Structure 1
Amino acid sequence: MKHLLKLLLIIATLFASTFIAVKLMGVLTLDQIEGWLTQAQNISPIYVGVMVTIILFMDLFIAIPTLTVIILSGYFLGHTYGAIAALSGTMLAGICGYIISRYYGNQIMSFLIKDRDKRIEAISAFEKSGFIMIILSRAVPILPEASACLAGMTKMKFWKFFLAWSISTIPYVLIATYAGSISTTSDPKPAILTAILISSFLWVSWFLYHRHIQKKPI
């Protein structure tokens, strides 16, 4: 398990570096994203949906505040269309991360973990715990994309990855977009409370799972 966690940490660090770089350059800030969505709404809701999808897909390459963008999707488009746009982006990001890593994962993993036995151990650990890790991955920013890439690297069966990613993503998006849809600028409380509750629930779930696997014999 320790080699799997090491690999996960390295991948997550790479994603985090993009977030830091973006912050330093002052691009893709929340104010900018909200401004773009406001401008797009003045043209057509279709543009808002396309923009939400693109921004959430870009999360695969540049770490962005996913939950906030999903809530904004519900705010600008309403629950149904906001959920469709957000699901399109998040599902595409996960599937593309899986496919890219499946084709290039061997080279990447060999570079990150030189020892063949350690790579085998990491793959074996992900086979045992990967499904649950993907489901709980939204507890921590960056972890969903990192886990999708790990699923591809370790050659997890696509149907298994897709099921875990769907269980992780669909309820998350539906709840967040609904909160956005019933929030207003004068009453943002539903969105704020939902963000806190979702994050807290996933954090507790991840903490309990982490404690559980730590108690298992290595």
Structure 2
Amino acid sequence: MKTLLKVMLTIAAIFASTFILGRVLGILTEDNVREWLEIASTLSALTVIAVVVGLLAIDLFVAVPTLTIVILGSYFLGFEMGFAAAITGSAIAAFGGYSICKRWGETALAKVIRDENQRAEMRDAFTSHGPGMIMLSRAAPILPEVTACMAGMTRMPLLRFAIFWLVGTLPYMGIAAYAGSVSTLDDPRPAIFAALGLYSVMWTGWFIYRKFSIKGGTQLLV
């Protein structure tokens, strides 16, 4: 399990560095996202869809404020189109990360963990704990990309990964998109309550999952 955590923390550190760099350079902040979507909304719905999908897709390489993008996108697009755009962009990032790491992850992993036995131990640990991690990954930024990369690196079957990803992502995106669609500039409360509720539910899920993992004999540190 220690090997799994080491690899996940290494991947998380890479993603975190892009987040910090973006903040230092003043790009891909919530203010940027709001401004771009407002400009796109003056052009056409297709432009807003393209911006939402594009921003969520590049989350694989540069950390973006996902929840803000989904809520604002749905505010301009409405629930159905906002939800569809959110799922499309998130899927591109998730399955892109899965595919890239399935193709080249083993080579990179061998440089981080040189012992084959430790790599095998890591794969076994992710096979056991990966499903829960994937389903609850929306509890924190960066974690969805980390778990997608881990799934590809450990060669989790694509259908298996897709099922767990959908279970964790569809309700999250659906609630965020609906909240954005019914919010207004004068009454942003639905979006605020949705954001607080989503994070509360996800963190509660992590707490329960971690508790059962410890009870089962394996402690999760994430």
Partner of 1:23: 23
Cα deviation for residue 148 of structure 1 reads 0.1
Q: Percent of pairs identical after alignment?
A: 45
Partner of 1:181: 181
Cα deviation for residue 13 of structure 1 reads 1.1
CA distance in 2 between partners of 1:59 and 1:212 (Å): 31
Gaps of 5+ in 1: none
Partner of 1:159: 159
TM-score, normalization by structure 2? 0.96
Alignment of 1:29-178 (within 5 A): 29-178=29-178
Gaps of 5+ in 2: none
CA distance in 1 between partners of 2:50 and 2:115 (Å): 43
Instruction: Please tell me the residue identity of whatever aligns with 2:81.
Output: Y
CA distance in 2 between partners of 1:68 and 1:5 (Å): 28
Cα deviation for residue 74 of structure 1 reads 1.1
Cα deviation for residue 215 of structure 1 reads 2.7
CA distance in 2 between partners of 1:77 and 1:204 (Å): 31
RMSD over aligned Cα, in angstroms?
0.9
Partner of 1:213: 213
* Aligned residue pair count: 218
Instruction: Please tell me the residue identity of whatever aligns with 1:7.
Output: V
Cα deviation for residue 44 of structure 1 reads 0.4
Partner of 1:201: 201
The alignment status of 1:9 with 2:2, answered yes or no, reads no
CA distance in 1 between partners of 2:168 and 2:139 (Å): 10
TM-score, normalization by structure 1? 0.97
Cα deviation for residue 31 of structure 1 reads 1.1
Question: SS at 2:136's partner residue?
Answer: helix
Instruction: Please tell me the residue identity of whatever aligns with 1:216.
Output: G
